[in-house]
């Protein structure tokens, strides 16, 4: 029956030939799938992560490859989207953005962990900047107010000091004149003292002269007394001669005349002696009186000399003090002049400081404004008290991304090697050192957890190397997720260690 209708048979044969011809010109299903896979990989190579293989084939191995490839492409695209979304948020100054770290592994896991670490480090820097800029702004505001007050006070002080310098210059001139006058007084007091001493010497000489006169007057008095006695005796003798002459009669007349003359001379001598005695007596009284006056002069000059000497000492002390005051006031005057110049410079410097502090205050306000336009992890404020520790731990935690990647680069050799032990890396050495120093944060539960997850990173990488060499692919893939989780935990515990350190200070 099939071949009964010749016309129909010819048509069917023609269709079969046409189909065979079409089939011969077409590629196989496997080739189409492989071509699509190649095309997708080329696009992936250029950074097109969101494209997957859509075709299918009867070959199950190719289908599994396609499925694995699509899963890998989707996972990488999803991780890339996480990184891009995070970077966009960071670009918009939102460093508080929560980075999803689930199911991380391999290079892309390192990228995501590195991006998250970047956000944490920037948050710490922003926290430092926030706290510092606010404090700086407040202190600069106070400094600006203080510098403004200082500038005004310096100007007032400069003006006042200038007036003081002028007044002090007048005082200096007066003290110099006083010092010169006291020097003259001291010189005059020396001359007065010399004159008083000379007067005392003259008084002593006068006393001596009066004493000598008194002695000489006494001698005259004695001589006068002798003359008076001689006159008395002569008078008696003349009387006797007159008696004898009278007895002799005429013969004794001439002798009586002589006797009378002798008596007259004796009488006159006695009168003269009495007058001399009276004069000498008065002279003696005057000499005694002069001697007393001279004695009083001597005593007066002695007292005067003592007082003059005392006064001369006082004047000398005043002169010396005036000289010292002159030197002191000249030094003070020089110091005031220098202080005046210094104050003028200080006033100028204060004005400059006032201007600069105002500019710095504006800059600090800009810093405050910058921070206010950002968002960062607020916990960062609790972990930035020790800046050196902050940078040290940030470096140490990032070392473990390098530790993982540097070992992963050698997996293509499929050899087994020993990675650094957890006590041999920089973080491990730091952990040992902190325990040796008996730091407070080494006594916490978080510290024990840090050591545990740190150990997991090193052991996990060693397991990856051994699984890769032994062909335990599934175990290797499962462990890769645990390693990135352990690295993430290292990051979190290190951040908490910073906060515990700040809390213990």
CATH of the domain at 391: 1.20.120
Evaluate if residue 22 carries a pLDDT over 60.
Answer: no
CA distance 325 to 332: 10
Residue where the block lists tokens 């000499």: 287
Whether residues 185 and 292 fall in one domain: yes
Whether residues 410 and 311 fall in one domain: no
Residue 246 structural domain: 162-353
Query: 151 is written with which tokens?
Result: 């500038």
Cβ atoms within 10 Å of 257's Cβ, excluding its own = 12
Whether residues 185 and 263 fall in one domain: yes
Whether residues 173 and 321 fall in one domain: yes
Evaluate if residue 288 carries a pLDDT over 90.
Answer: no
Residue where the block lists tokens 């005043």: 318
Q: Are 342 and 143 in contact (CB under 8 A)?
A: no
Q: Residue 245 falls within a domain, yes or no?
A: yes
Of residues 457, 450, 454, 453, the one with CA closest to residue 498: 450
Q: What angle do CA 281, 293, 197 make, to 5 degrees?
A: 140
Q: Quick one: pLDDT band at residue 155, thresholds 50, 70, 90?
A: confident
Each residue's pLDDT tens digit, 441-500? 999 999 999 999 999 999 999 999 999 999 998 899 889 889 999 999 999 999 999 999
Whether residues 185 and 259 fall in one domain: yes
Which of 353, 374, 405 lies at the terminal end of a domain, its last residue?
Answer: 353
Which of 299, 332, 353 lies at the terminal end of a domain, its last residue?
Answer: 353
CA distance 25 to 19: 10
**What domain count does the chain have?**
2
Q: Residue 71 falls within a domain, yes or no?
A: no
Q: What pLDDT, on a 0 to 100 scale, did the predictor assign at position 79?
A: 80
Looking at the chain, the whole-number percentage of residues with pLDDT higher than 90 is 17
HSE-up of 250 (CA within 13 Å, CB side)? 0
Whether residues 320 and 184 fall in one domain: yes
Of residues 231, 310, 233, the one with CA closest to residue 273: 231
The alpha carbons of the chain give a radius of gyration, in whole angstroms, of 68
Whether residues 318 and 393 fall in one domain: no
Q: Residue 61 falls within a domain, yes or no?
A: no
Q: Which range in 54-63, 239-248, 319-328, 335-344 is most confidently predicted, on average pLDDT? A: 54-63
Q: What pLDDT, on a 0 to 100 scale, did the predictor assign at position 10?
A: 65
Using CA atoms, how far residue 274 sits from 238, 239, 264, in Å, is 20, 21, 15
Which of 353, 368, 394 lies at the terminal end of a domain, its last residue?
Answer: 353
Query: 478 is written with which tokens?
Result: 């499962």
Q: What angle do CA 401, 389, 94 make, to 5 degrees?
A: 65
Q: Quick one: pLDDT band at residue 26, thresholds 50, 70, 90?
A: very low
CATH code at position 218: 1.10.287.950
Whether residues 321 and 398 fall in one domain: no
By mean pLDDT, which of 3-12, 63-72, 117-126, 161-170 is the weakest? 3-12
Each residue's pLDDT tens digit, 192-218? 767 667 776 777 777 777 777 777 767
Q: Are 446 and 389 in contact (CB under 8 A)?
A: no
Of residues 353, 325, 17, 339, the one with CA closest to residue 171: 325
Whether residues 327 and 391 fall in one domain: no
Q: Quick one: pLDDT band at residue 18, thresholds 50, 70, 90?
A: low
Q: Residue 27 falls within a domain, yes or no?
A: no
Q: Residue 365 falls within a domain, yes or no?
A: no
Each residue's pLDDT tens digit, 98-109? 888 787 777 878
Q: Residue 114 falls within a domain, yes or no?
A: no
Query: 446 is written with which tokens?
Result: 């978080």
Question: Any idea of the CA torsion for 309, 310, 314, 319, to the nearest 10 degrees?
Answer: 0
Q: Quick one: pLDDT band at residue 42, thresholds 50, 70, 90?
A: confident
Whether residues 175 and 224 fall in one domain: yes
Q: Residue 188 falls within a domain, yes or no?
A: yes
CA distance 310 to 244: 80
Whether residues 330 and 218 fall in one domain: yes
Q: What pLDDT, on a 0 to 100 scale, did the predictor assign at position 1?
A: 39
Q: Which range in 154-168, 219-233, 371-385, 408-422 is most confidently predicted, on average pLDDT? A: 408-422
Whether residues 292 and 172 fall in one domain: yes
Mean pLDDT, all residues of the chain = 80
Cβ atoms within 10 Å of 504's Cβ, excluding its own = 12
Q: Residue 415 falls within a domain, yes or no?
A: yes
Residue where the block lists tokens 């002696």: 273
């Amino acid at each position: 029956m099939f071949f009964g209708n010749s016309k129909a048979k010819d048509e069917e044969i023609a269709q079969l030939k046409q189909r065979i011809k079409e089939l011969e010109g077409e590629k196989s299903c496997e080739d189409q799938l492989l071509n699509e896979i190649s095309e997708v990989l080329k696009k992936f190579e250029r950074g097109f992560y969101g494209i997957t293989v859509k075709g299918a084939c009867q070959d199950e191995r190719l289908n599994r490859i396609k499925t694995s490839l699509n899963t890998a492409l989707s996972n990488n695209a999803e991780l890339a989207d996480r990184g891009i979304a995070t970077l966009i948020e960071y670009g918009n100054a939102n460093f508080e953005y929560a980075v999803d770290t689930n199911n991380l592994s391999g290079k892309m896991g390192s990228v995501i962990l590195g991006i998250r670490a970047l956000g944490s480090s920037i948050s710490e820097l922003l926290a430092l900047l926030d706290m510092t800029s606010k404090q700086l702004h407040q202190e600069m505001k106070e400094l600006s107010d203080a510098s403004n007050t200082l500038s005004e006070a310096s100007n007032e002080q400069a003006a006042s000091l200038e007036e003081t310098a002028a007044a002090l210059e007048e005082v200096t001139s007066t003290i110099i004149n006083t010092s010169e006058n006291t020097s003259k007084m001291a010189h005059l007091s020396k001359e007065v003292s010399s004159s008083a001493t000379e007067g005392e010497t003259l008084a002593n000489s006068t006393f001596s002269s009066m004493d000598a006169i008194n002695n000489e007057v006494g001698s005259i008095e004695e001589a006068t007394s002798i003359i008076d006695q001689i006159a008395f005796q002569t008078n008696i003798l003349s009387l006797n001669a007159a008696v004898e002459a009278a007895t002799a009669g005429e013969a004794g007349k001439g002798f009586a005349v002589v006797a009378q003359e002798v008596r007259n001379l004796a009488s006159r001598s006695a009168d003269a002696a009495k007058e001399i005695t009276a004069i000498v007596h008065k002279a003696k009284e005057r000499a005694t009186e002069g001697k007393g006056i001279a004695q009083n002069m001597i005593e007066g000059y002695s007292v005067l000399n003592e007082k003059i000497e005392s006064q001369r000492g006082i004047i000398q002390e005043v002169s010396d003090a005036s000289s010292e005051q002159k030197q002191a006031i000249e030094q003070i005057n020089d110091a005031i002049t220098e202080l005046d110049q210094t104050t003028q410079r200080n006033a100028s410097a204060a004005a400059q400081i006032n201007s600069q502090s105002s500019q710095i205050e504006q800059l600090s306000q800009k810093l405050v404004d910058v921070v206010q336009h950002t968002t960062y992890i607020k916990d960062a404020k609790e972990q930035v008290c020790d800046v050196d520790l902050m940078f040290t731990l940030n470096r140490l935690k990032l070392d473990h991304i390098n530790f993982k990647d540097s070992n992963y680069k050698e997996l293509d050799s499929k050899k087994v090697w020993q990675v650094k032990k957890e006590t041999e890396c920089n973080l491990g050495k730091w952990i040992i050192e902190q325990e040796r120093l008996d730091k407070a944060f080494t006594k916490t539960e978080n510290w024990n957890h840090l050591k545990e997850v740190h150990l997991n990173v090193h052991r996990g990488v060693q397991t990856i190397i051994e699984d890769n060499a032994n062909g335990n692919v599934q175990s290797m893939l499962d462990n890769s997720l645990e390693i990135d989780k352990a690295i993430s935990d290292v990051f979190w515990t290190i951040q908490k260690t910073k906060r515990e350190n700040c809390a213990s200070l």
